[in-house]
């Protein structure tokens, strides 16, 4: 007779083996490595949380310390490769295969390990895509997660950084997996239940807060006037004419500049209440002045942001908060919202090629994707109309009868023609292609594909790719905003002029913008301290951003 509960029995065997390290569900931090050695089996799929912000750091170092004679060849399926321990497990041979989404701070080291063959790469995903696979073919056998506190039944309180946890736990706990949580402390009653205790098998009391990466804090002091100009162009040339109310911003300085110009430049243009009111966004400190000025109706967050907790707690009309008063974030839902309920994604990139493909991969950095490809793609399953979406669709495809014409998402890439260290943003070929070749990948790691991009914004102007009718027009629209880069200098000026006459390329003067007006004084806040002031002292920036 066939057995149909082999996975459940295997789980019970693991739980039994681990029981001697636990009192009830409680495990001492000093026993964490022994616990993992008892629970894990070679070849297991393991999700080590591993978000882009919050980190199960104590469990990460416990895992990096297991006896590799007992635990080896793990298949890590986690969204963020952020801590050194996330890669130590590969270097030590504890893990072998990796499916992930984002590796910001570890992007150089992950590249080295990939080149050295120390990591067998499954694929680089966007977050929602990896979560999707948790339920189909990458279901974890073991999840190692982080929370603020637990009660004795294992009910978890994640605080503002709920992030990936409910998704990871759901996929693991309901498919015969083992869930181990590190918590700062064990309490009698958790302030709210983010994860019900019956989904949690062991709780490791770490005695200290888990590590959180302040990934979405941009210091206004570092915003340049060139970036301010790109922000003005975007607001007047895209936000205003399309009337974009539902949107997501990337994490670069250009979009931070947009956030800080809403209550100044945007206000002068009379856009308050007409644009940028409903957001899928992390709690960007640079959005504080716009919130305080009454621009924002509501924000749903992927995760939280270091220092923003008290501010969020005081603004429940804006943010999603729990009965305990603190933020409830949720990466899966916010990514879904960014995909299907937002009319615009706007973000910076490192490289754009002549077709309009963009990538943040360079020859020696594999940064991963995060959420951008999900939100920066045209969701063809969308069926509800909205004005910006219909207008973009009409521009892209004027010939199809309206009832059978889908709208288009606005996917905007924004940046300076020359970026960090004067490296040109526009290139003939993406470095991502070299990387794909070197690692023999099936696909080059393209962040946003050409056919999804609607606009490119630089200090030279806006290229509206929706209005391009062929490959040549597209190429020249891109060259037309590529400034003095080699790509820009390769333009046919007459062709660009014709595109400009059709409104495909827009110069600052075409929008009535004088580049000399792009002044730092236009920023609603010019420093982190200004943001603190706007927040009424509620924003508490991390120490590295304090210089007073």
**Which one among 53, 141, 206, 334 touches its own copies, defined by CB under 8 A?**
334
For 498-526, letters b (16+ CB in 10 Å) and e give ebbeeebbbbbeebebebeebeeebbbbb
At its nearest, how many Å lie between its own copies and the CB of residue 341?
Answer: 4
At its nearest, how many Å lie between its own copies and the CB of residue 517?
Answer: 30
Q: Output the DSSP codes for 96-148.
A: EEEEEEE-GGGHHHHHHHHHTT-SEEEEE-BHHHHHHHHTTT---SEEEEEEE
Residue in the structure block whose two tokens are 């002292």:
537
Binding span for its own copies by CB under 8 A among 210-218, 258-266, 332-340, 495-503: 332-340
At its nearest, how many Å lie between its own copies and the CB of residue 173?
Answer: 8
At its nearest, how many Å lie between its own copies and the CB of residue 230?
Answer: 25
**Which one among 250, 303, 376, 461 touches its own copies, defined by CB under 8 A?**
376
Binding span for its own copies by CB under 8 A among 124-132, 144-152, 419-427, 497-505: 124-132
**Which one among 52, 167, 304, 348 touches its own copies, defined by CB under 8 A?**
167
Cα gap 352→448, rounded to integer Å: 9
At its nearest, how many Å lie between its own copies and the CB of residue 157?
Answer: 10
- If one asks whether residue 342 binds its own copies (CB under 8 A), the answer comes out as yes
Helix, strand, coil abundance in the chain, percent, nearest 5: 40, 20, 45
At its nearest, how many Å lie between its own copies and the CB of residue 477?
Answer: 19
Q: Is 239 helix (H, G, I), strand (E, B) or coil?
A: helix
17, with CB counted inside 10 A (0-12, 13-18, 19+), is: middle
- If one asks whether residue 69 binds its own copies (CB under 8 A), the answer comes out as no
Measured from the CB atom, the residue of 127 and 545 that comes closer to its own copies is 127
Binding span for its own copies by CB under 8 A among 54-62, 379-387, 461-469, 480-488: 379-387
Give the binding-site size for its own copies (rule: CB under 8 A).
Answer: 100
Tokens of 275: 């644009």
Tokens of 317: 């009309």
Question: Cβ distance 128 to 339 under 8 Å?
Answer: yes
Binding mask 168-207 for its own copies (x = CB under 8 A): --xx-xxxx---------------xxx-xxxx--------
Closest C-alpha to 409, from 437, 449, 366, 442: 449
- If one asks whether residue 428 binds its own copies (CB under 8 A), the answer comes out as no
Cα gap 135→132, rounded to integer Å: 6
Beta strands at 505-506 and 461-464: parallel, antiparallel or unpaired: antiparallel
At its nearest, how many Å lie between its own copies and the CB of residue 81?
Answer: 15
Q: Is the peptide bond before 151 cis (omega within 30 degrees of 0)?
A: no
Binding mask 228-247 for its own copies (x = CB under 8 A): -----------------xx-
Binding mask 19-58 for its own copies (x = CB under 8 A): ----------------------------------------
Footprint on residues 293-312 left by its own copies (CB under 8 A): 294, 298, 300
Question: Cβ distance 517 to 225 under 8 Å?
Answer: no
**Which one among 34, 296, 375, 506 touches its own copies, defined by CB under 8 A?**
375
Cα gap 166→158, rounded to integer Å: 10
At its nearest, how many Å lie between its own copies and the CB of residue 207?
Answer: 25
Binding mask 443-472 for its own copies (x = CB under 8 A): xxxx--x-xx--------------------
Measured from the CB atom, the residue of 223 and 290 that comes closer to its own copies is 290
Binding span for its own copies by CB under 8 A among 229-237, 416-424, 431-439, 495-503: 431-439
- If one asks whether residue 15 binds its own copies (CB under 8 A), the answer comes out as no
Cα gap 357→347, rounded to integer Å: 14
Binding mask 133-162 for its own copies (x = CB under 8 A): x-xxx-x---------------x-------
Cα gap 437→452, rounded to integer Å: 24
The 10 Å Cβ neighbour count of residue 89 is 25
Beta strands at 45-48 and 54-55: parallel, antiparallel or unpaired: unpaired
Q: Which element (helix H / strand E) includes 464?
A: strand 461-464
**Which one among 102, 265, 369, 539 touches its own copies, defined by CB under 8 A?**
369
Cα gap 475→465, rounded to integer Å: 9
- If one asks whether residue 384 binds its own copies (CB under 8 A), the answer comes out as yes
At its nearest, how many Å lie between its own copies and the CB of residue 8?
Answer: 5
Measured from the CB atom, the residue of 325 and 542 that comes closer to its own copies is 325
493, with CB counted inside 10 A (0-12, 13-18, 19+), is: exposed
Cα gap 122→116, rounded to integer Å: 16
Footprint on residues 104-123 left by its own copies (CB under 8 A): 122-123
Measured from the CB atom, the residue of 183 and 280 that comes closer to its own copies is 280
Beta strands at 202-205 and 211-212: parallel, antiparallel or unpaired: unpaired
At its nearest, how many Å lie between its own copies and the CB of residue 64?
Answer: 26
Footprint on residues 261-290 left by its own copies (CB under 8 A): 278-280
Measured from the CB atom, the residue of 50 and 356 that comes closer to its own copies is 356
Measured from the CB atom, the residue of 154 and 508 that comes closer to its own copies is 154
Measured from the CB atom, the residue of 436 and 495 that comes closer to its own copies is 436
Q: Which element (helix H / strand E) includes 478?
A: helix 471-479
Measured from the CB atom, the residue of 15 and 540 that comes closer to its own copies is 15
């Amino acid at each position: 007779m066939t057995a149909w509960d082999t996975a459940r029995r295997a789980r019970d065997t693991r739980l039994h083996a681990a029981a001697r390290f636990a009192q009830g569900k409680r495990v001492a931090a000093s026993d964490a490595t022994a616990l993992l050695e008892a629970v894990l089996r070679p070849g297991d799929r393991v999700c080590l949380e591993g978000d882009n912000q919050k980190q199960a750091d104590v469990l990460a170092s416990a895992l990096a310390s297991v006896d590799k004679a007992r635990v080896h060849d793990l298949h890590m399926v986690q969204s963020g490769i952020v801590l050194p321990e996330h890669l130590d497990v590969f270097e030590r041979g504890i893990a072998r295969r990796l499916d992930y989404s984002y590796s910001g701070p570890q992007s150089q080291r992950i590249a080295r390990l990939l080149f050295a063959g120390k990591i067998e790469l499954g694929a680089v995903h966007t977050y929602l895509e990896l979560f999707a696979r948790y339920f189909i073919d990458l279901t974890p056998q073991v999840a190692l997660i982080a929370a603020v506190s637990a009660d004795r039944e294992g009910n978890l309180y994640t605080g503002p950084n709920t992030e990936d946890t409910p998704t990871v736990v759901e996929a693991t706990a309901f498919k015969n997996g083992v869930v181990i949580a590190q918590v700062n402390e064990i309490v009698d009653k958790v302030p709210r239940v983010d994860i019900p205790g019956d989904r949690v098998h062991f709780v490791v009391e770490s005695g200290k807060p888990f590590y959180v990466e302040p990934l979405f804090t941009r210091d206004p002091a570092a915003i340049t006037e060139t970036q301010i100009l790109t922000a003005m162009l975007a607001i007047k040339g895209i936000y205003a004419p399309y009337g974009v109310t539902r949107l997501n911003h990337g994490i670069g300085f250009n979009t931070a500049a947009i956030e800080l110009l809403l209550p100044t430049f945007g206000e002068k243009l009379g856009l308050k209440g007409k644009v940028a009111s409903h957001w899928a966004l992390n709690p960007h400190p640079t959005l504080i002045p716009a919130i305080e000025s009454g621009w924002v109706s509501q924000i749903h967050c992927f995760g939280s942001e270091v220092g923003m907790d008290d501010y969020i707690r005081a603004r429940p009309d804006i943010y999603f908060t729990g009965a305990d008063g603190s933020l409830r974030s949720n990466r899966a839902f916010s990514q879904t919202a960014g995909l299907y309920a937002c009319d615009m994604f706007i973000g910076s990139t490192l490289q754009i090629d002549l077709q309009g493909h963009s990538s943040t991969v360079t020859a020696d950095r594999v940064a991963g994707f995060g959420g951008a490809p999900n939100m920066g793609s045209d969701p063809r399953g969308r069926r509800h109309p909205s004005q910006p979406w219909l207008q973009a669709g009409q521009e892209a495809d004027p010939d199809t009868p309206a009832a059978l014409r889908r709208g288009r998402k606005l996917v905007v890439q924004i940046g300076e023609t020359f970026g960090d260290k004067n490296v040109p943003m526009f290139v003939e070929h993406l470095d991502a292609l070299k990387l794909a070749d070197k690692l023999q990948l099936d696909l080059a790691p393209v962040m946003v594909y050409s056919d999804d991009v609607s606009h490119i914004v630089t200090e030279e102007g806006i290229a509206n790719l929706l209005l391009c009718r062929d490959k040549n027009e597209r190429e020249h629209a891109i060259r037309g905003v590529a400034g003095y880069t080699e790509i820009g200098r390769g333009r046919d000026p007459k062709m660009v002029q014709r595109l400009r006459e059709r409104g495909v390329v827009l110069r600052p003067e075409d929008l009535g913008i004088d580049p000399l007006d792009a002044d730092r004084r236009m920023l609603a806040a010019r420093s982190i301290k200004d943001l603190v002031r706007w927040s009424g002292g509620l924003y508490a920036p991390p120490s590295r951003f304090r210089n007073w």
